[in-house]
Amino acid sequence: MTPQDASLKAEEICRLAPVVPVLVVHEVAHARPLAEALVAGGLPALEVTLRTPVALDVIREMAQVEGGVVGAGTLLTPEDVVAAKEAGARFGVSPGATDRLLDACESHDLPLLPGATSASESMRLLERGYSVQKFFPAEAAGGAPFLKSLASPLPQIRFCPTGGVGPGNAMDYLSLPNTLCVGGSWVAPSAMVKAGDWTGITALAKEASGLG
Ligand code: 3PG
């Protein structure tokens, strides 16, 4: 898959809803009800971070949920790419980008949303063909004012800011011309997941899907 095709796919996924839930799931049994709750609340694109030992099994389960588009986050190595693809991930997200990671995503046909936090990082990715990028860690790296400043010199790059984004500041990003959607963990708080409060999570997802 070319970087250009990857970006087209990433844009399509980012346009499904204003928020992509960033999920750290510790129990495989939570996978299906969690994905169903988020999809029911209007958030179909889901990022499962590869940060727990069960993450790949969680992707396998969530990939069966109707209406969901499940991706793998925290991709760091070519091995992560192969494993994510094999588990059924339809897209990948990485906090930054390396040549090895980009090569692996391109050769395994996994559309990637690669991370960047500076004009130079964004330009390098754009030079390779990635016009849709994750802005991470969004708040710590300068927040909405920083991203807004990139819109004039780099209007061809669209972002999914993630990291420190929540209901209080999501609109600061979503109102920018270079933001397609935001990523965030607030729609699936660990206490609610642990308690199996799927109705509560659907309610949070509904609020989030109404943003923008
Ligand atoms: C992460 O690193 O977990 C994501 O960027 C989500 O960050 P958040 O918990 O601040 O939404």
DSSP state for residue 112 in the 8-state scheme: E
Per-residue pLDDT, 212 = 76
Region 82-94: mean pLDDT is: 98
Domain extent listing, the chain: 3-209
Q: What is the CB < 6 Å shell around ligand 1?
A: 22, 136, 162-165, 184-186
**Going by CA atoms, what residue is nearest to atom 7 of ligand 1?**
163
- ∠ CA 68-36-108 to the nearest 5 degrees? 30
In this structure, the strands spanning 182-184 and 158-161 are unpaired
Sheet holding 45-49, edge to edge: 112-113, 91-93, 69-73, 45-49, 19-23, 182-184
Ligand 1: which atom is nearest the Cα of residue 185?
11
Helices (H) and strands (E) in the chain, counts: 10, 9
Between the CA of 140 and the centroid of ligand 1 the distance, in Å, is 11
Residue 31 has pLDDT above 80, yes or no: yes
**Going by CA atoms, what residue is nearest to atom 9 of ligand 1?**
185
Region 106-134: mean pLDDT is: 98
**What crossing angle do the helices spanning 28-40 and 55-62 adopt, rounded to 10°?**
40
Superfamily of domain 3-209: Aldolase class I (3.20.20.70)
Residues 157 and 120 sit within 8 Å (Cβ to Cβ): no
Q: What six digits make up the tokens of 122?
A: 């964004």
In this structure, the strands spanning 115-116 and 69-73 are unpaired
Region 27-41: mean pLDDT is: 98
Region 5-34: mean pLDDT is: 98
Residues 19 and 208 sit within 8 Å (Cβ to Cβ): yes
Residue 154 neighbours by CB distance under 10 Å: 17
**Going by CA atoms, what residue is nearest to atom 8 of ligand 1?**
163
Between the CA of 166 and the centroid of ligand 1 the distance, in Å, is 10
User: What confidence tier does 61 reach under pLDDT thresholds 50, 70, 90?
Assistant: very high
Q: What length does the chain have? A: 212
Active site residues: 47, 134
Helix (H) or strand (E) holding 42: none
- What is the Cα–Cα distance from 207 to 85, expressed in whole angstroms? 31
**Going by CA atoms, what residue is nearest to atom 2 of ligand 1?**
163
Q: Ligand 1, residues 159, 160, 165: which to mutate, most atoms within 8 A of Cβ?
A: 165
pLDDT per position as a tens digit, 185-200: 999 999 999 999 999 9
% of the chain surpassing 90 pLDDT = 100
| 3-state percent helix, strand, coil for the chain, nearest multiple of 5 | 45, 15, 40
Between the CA of 160 and the centroid of ligand 1 the distance, in Å, is 12
